[in-house]
Amino acid sequence: MVFSSKLGGCICGQIRYELTANPITCYACHCTQCQTISGSGFSLSVIAELEAIIIDAGEVAESTFLINSNDRTRHYCSNCGTLVWFSAPTYPGIVAIKAGTFDDSSWIKPIAHLWVSSKMHWVQLDNDTQKYQGQPAMADLVTLWQEQGDP
């Protein structure tokens, strides 16, 4: 199977990017930090190699800050502020693309729900998707993604 590039960008249109290779995994995280950062109930992350991303237009601004004494970098559009991906020095060369920034998100389905212990009480999870009360090993998330086959 050949992965066909997935296009995405920010809400104002200045940043346009392409994901050119199958991501490493995709999950929904319901931790309170993701709730704060996303301003929503959870974050939906497509984990990909940075080198698989081509920036077709615009400039991706960066802001680095601490979460629980770990560096995190937010990559965003300096015009509209849309968060396009996240990175952490713990995972060099890997970024967490925010799934909602893809033009077409129909190919995206999280293989797991993380931090279900802090999910918003009204969020209903389907029975088939793996759930973790806290933080699983990244290797487990990668295996789950591979098991479902190419998107």
**Chain residues that interact with Zn ion, rule: CB under 5 A:** 10, 12, 14, 29, 31, 34, 77, 79-80
Minimum distance from residue 30 beta carbon to Zn ion (Å) = 7
- Residue 21 or 41 having the CB closest to Zn ion: 41
Residue 19, burial from CB neighbour count under 10 angstroms (0-12, 13-18, 19+): buried
Task: Write the Ramachandran bin of 10: left for phi over 0, alpha for psi from -120 to 50, otherwise beta.
Answer: beta
Closest distance to Zn ion from the beta carbon of 138 (Å): 13
Looking at the Cβ atoms of 93 and 134, the one nearer to Zn ion is 134
Reading the block at residue 71, the tokens are 């560096």
CA distances from 65 to 26, 62, 70, 134 (A): 24, 10, 8, 22
Compute the least distance from the CB of residue 11 to Zn ion, in Å: 6
Identify which of residues 34 and 97 has a Cβ nearer to Zn ion in the complex.
Answer: 34
Of 79 and 129, nearer to Zn ion (C-beta) is 79
User: Residue 28 Cβ, how far from Zn ion at the closest point, in Å?
Assistant: 9
